[in-house]
Amino acid sequence: MQKSRCTLAFSFLLLWLPYCLAQTTPSNRATRMPTRAATPSPTRAATLSPTRAATPSPTPSPSPQAQTERLKVRLSGYPRKHNEGRIELFYKGEWGTICDDDFSISNANVLCRQLGFVSATGWTHSAKYGKGQGKIWLDNVLCNGGEKSIELCKSRGWGNSDCTHDEDAGVVCKDERIPGFVDSNVIDAHVNENKIEEVRLRPVVTMSRKKLPVTEGVVEVRYKDGWAQICDLGWTIKNTRVVCGMLGFPHERKVNKNFYKLYLERQKNFYHIHSVACTGTEVHLAACPLEFSKPNTTTTCEGGMAAVVSCMPGPLFMQNNGQKKKLKTASNVRLKGGAKLGEGRVEVLKDNEWGTVCDDRWDLLSASVVCRELGFGSAKEALTGARMGQGMGPIYMNEVKCLGHEKSIWNCPFKNITSEDCQHMEDAAIRCNVPHMGFEHSIRLTGGRTRYEGRVEVLGSDSNGTQSWGLVCGETWSTKEAMVVCRQMGLGYANQGLQETWYWDSSNVTEMVMSGVKCTGNEMSLNQCQHHKTVSCQKAAARFAAGVICSETASDLVLNASLVQETVYIEDRPLHMLYCAAEENCLSKSAAKANWPYGHRRLLRFSSQIHNIGRADFKPKAGRHSWVWHACHGHYHSMDIFTHYDLLNANGTKVAEGHKASFCLEDTDCQEGVSKRYECANFGDQGITVGCWDLYRHDIDCQWIDITDVKPGNYILQVVINPNHEVAESDFTNNAMKCNCKYDGHRIWLHNCHIGDAFSEEAERRFEKYPGQLNNQIP
């Protein structure tokens, strides 16, 4: 009897052990709650915790929501960067979290793609970003990694969880956006999408129909497959303000209702909305209290008519130059680092120096005040976590709490910053509503592998007024022109501007219709750039037509100005130690006439610390196969000229110059939480990672200006990074650094060192006219 029991027990063990080994998964964290056993695997309903009842296994079928509308996903919590945080899902009108039981990198990949990032780099457990509130919507989620939405993964089902918020899951996404991904609102606007989504102005005056932007007309909302009107009974100027803000206009104005009444009486109207009661600070009409017409009833607007509004565009969008001069945009707030018009990092001016705004309590009301102040409409998004890159100067504001009606962000309550409060990884940014100008309809790209690249074709008119598509001459075409094209098409930043496009020859368009294009890089469309009135192109074949490659993200290099000022000194260096430097043209021309190896050269030396504050890594334009080996110094040059060093006199003439090839473009160090990716050793990859910097120490070859022939006096030291714009950046205005320089023939002093766009215009004028600068005499 005893033997048979042992045999039975042994047989059961053999059957049970492989099943257990196959099904058991290791705990996803070490700090499990002591009152709870290991979470049951979602593929079986056995092995229950003694403190919990059995829970039904998850079903592989997707939630019904997957077939009706896109699931909303957001990142929350603190402290965090913009690409990481606690995962929250919006289901049945309520935000909730995901339990970390059985969470994996596959789950994180699905969620990060839903958020617009290319992939996940990690995930977190045990409420690393703080405990959420409300529902825990999903538990025991199992994705294979290829699903388009987290709701398509296996789980216990919506709201079926045995977790607490101590177990909220989080993700860390790769800081690279999916090209063309449309962001959901980062800050919830409390807009009920079931009510109303799209609003337009329908112009009724014949001339207005042909002009863009449309600033006045009948307010219409999208309804089913057409458009419906709003009854104007009880309509106020506050409602008009909200509509204008949605459509990209900062101000509203009164409208002549009598004119429209005569027209609308002859029209057949369908009134979908009968009452609107906005406060004037809403960012969307759907956020206002609305009264809808009842279904299956034919109602009229008795005693009223269709609502009509008139909006005042910002200076950028005005067609009347006289109006532009009268209504200037704010001079003490600006946007930096944005790819599209009306978006960027918020910077404010204080004491003649630009600084950023911390994202604590940053919301759509505050963002809308900035948008309107800059001549745009209300805010579409209030972005946190330096989503438009990090600033370099001071941080002036924290916990900005606008009510929405202020004329300037400086009128809003805010806290002053202490060094412990905020860092630049918390810089606030915005995306504003901008008027529809139709610029994207007059330009297109052809022949490229993706919609982000191709040969540029523009829509022009011949002498008969007939429109046909034509090419742009590639001569003089550069990154700046490409920046305008990418912005005009809504494709982000320019990665490259190409003067030859023979490899994209797939279009039957062969005629050059535009040449001599020269842009500053800030224009809204290519037509706004300088160009020949009559086409003149020496290389008129289609293979020499201009082309572009666009990108959703770009790098942004900035020099540490204070370090230059702190490390400057003069060295008299013997000629016998400068052979390699002479070979790389790092000395002035007079060095060729010197009595080598005797004598010396006087060198102005300093350190250069170059930060990448953009949203993409800075990489050399040329691949490593084309890098040039310099045997003398024993290194590769990945860019012929990476920086220019110039000493200028009062009228801007160079009195001495130097240059620096990128013989070692690498991550010297990085801010906290960012890992180095580039290292020059062993023919490694060259570049500068986002959040890292490359340090050229003062004591390395060519890190100088040869001032042997310079007379004593007052000068301006200028350092320009990426001077030829070989590599695309989101902002070229901050590539130059300037310092006042005083040289007495023996010693040298630098002061007022600053990035090119760090000062106000007034402060910059004072900088260039400090005592002694104009007469070149030492005071």
**For position 224, what pLDDT does the model report?**
78
Q: Are strands 343-350 and 72-76 parallel, antiparallel or unpaired?
A: unpaired
Tokens of 179: 């090209």
Instruction: Check pLDDT > 80 for residue 463.
Output: no
Q: Please, which residues bridge with residue 571 across strands? A: 603
Confidence tier at 663 by pLDDT (50, 70, 90): low
- φ, ψ for residue 504, nearest 5 deg: -115, 35
Mean predicted lDDT score pLDDT of the chain = 82
Q: How does pLDDT run across 713-723, given as a tens digit for each residue?
A: 999 999 999 88
Residues 6+ apart with CB under 8 A from 418: none
Q: For the residues of 338-407, what is the DSSP string, one character each?
A: -SSTTEEEEEEEETTEEEEEB-TT--HHHHHHHHHHTT--SEEEEE-SSTT----S-EEEBS----S--S
Cα distances from 486 to residues 337, 512, 600, in angstroms, run: 14, 20, 50
Q: Identify the residue with better confidence: 479 or 47.
A: 479
**For position 628, what pLDDT does the model report?**
75
Q: Are 430 and 367 in contact (CB under 8 A)?
A: yes
Task: Say how far apart CA 376 and CA 367 lie, in whole Å.
Answer: 11
Q: Are 532 and 516 in contact (CB under 8 A)?
A: yes
In the predicted model, what is the mean pLDDT of residues 538-553? 90
**For position 323, what pLDDT does the model report?**
53
Q: Are 118 and 174 in contact (CB under 8 A)?
A: yes
Q: Within a 13 Å sphere around the CA of 367, how many CA atoms are in the beta-carbon half? A: 31
Confidence tier at 235 by pLDDT (50, 70, 90): very high
Q: How does pLDDT run across 182-215, given as a tens digit for each residue?
A: 654 344 444 443 457 789 999 887 666 678 899 9
Instruction: Check pLDDT > 60 for residue 744.
Output: yes
**For position 16, what pLDDT does the model report?**
40
- Choose among 87, 193, 101: nearest CA to 135: 87
Task: Say how far apart CA 328 and CA 325 lie, in whole Å.
Answer: 6
**For position 485, what pLDDT does the model report?**
95
Least confident of 177-181, 220-224, 377-381, 720-724: 177-181
**For position 767, what pLDDT does the model report?**
82
Least confident of 40-44, 239-243, 363-367: 40-44
In the predicted model, what is the mean pLDDT of residues 567-590? 91
Confidence tier at 3 by pLDDT (50, 70, 90): very low
Task: Say how far apart CA 188 and CA 193 lie, in whole Å.
Answer: 12
Q: Are 609 and 561 in contact (CB under 8 A)?
A: no
**For position 660, what pLDDT does the model report?**
66
In the predicted model, what is the mean pLDDT of residues 119-138? 89
Q: How does pLDDT run across 671-680, given as a tens digit for each residue?
A: 888 889 998 8
Q: How does pLDDT run across 8-33, given as a tens digit for each residue?
A: 344 443 334 343 333 333 333 333 33
CA angle 503-505-507, nearest 5°? 155
Instruction: Check pLDDT > 70 for residue 59.
Output: no
Q: How does pLDDT run across 346-390, given as a tens digit for each residue?
A: 999 999 999 999 998 899 999 999 999 999 999 988 998 888 888
pTM: 0.72
In the predicted model, what is the mean pLDDT of residues 230-248? 94
**For position 750, what pLDDT does the model report?**
94
Instruction: Check pLDDT > 80 for residue 273.
Output: yes
Cβ-based burial of 719 (10 A; exposed 0-12, middle 13-18, buried ≥19): buried
Q: How does pLDDT run across 762-773, given as a tens digit for each residue?
A: 888 888 775 444
**For position 69, what pLDDT does the model report?**
61
Confidence tier at 296 by pLDDT (50, 70, 90): low
- φ, ψ for residue 121, nearest 5 deg: -105, -10
Confidence tier at 126 by pLDDT (50, 70, 90): confident
Task: Say how far apart CA 310 and CA 324 lie, in whole Å.
Answer: 18
Q: Are 252 and 244 in contact (CB under 8 A)?
A: yes
Instruction: Check pLDDT > 90 for residue 169.
Output: yes
Q: How does pLDDT run across 407-446, given as a tens digit for each residue?
A: 999 999 999 876 667 888 899 999 999 999 888 889 999 9
Residues 6+ apart with CB under 8 A from 212: 435, 436, 437, 438
Q: Identify the residue with better confidence: 418 or 775.
A: 418
**For position 239, what pLDDT does the model report?**
95
Q: Please, which residues bridge with residue 445 across strands? A: 456
Cβ-based burial of 93 (10 A; exposed 0-12, middle 13-18, buried ≥19): exposed
Of the spans 220-229, 293-302, 448-457, 627-636, which averages the highest pLDDT? 448-457
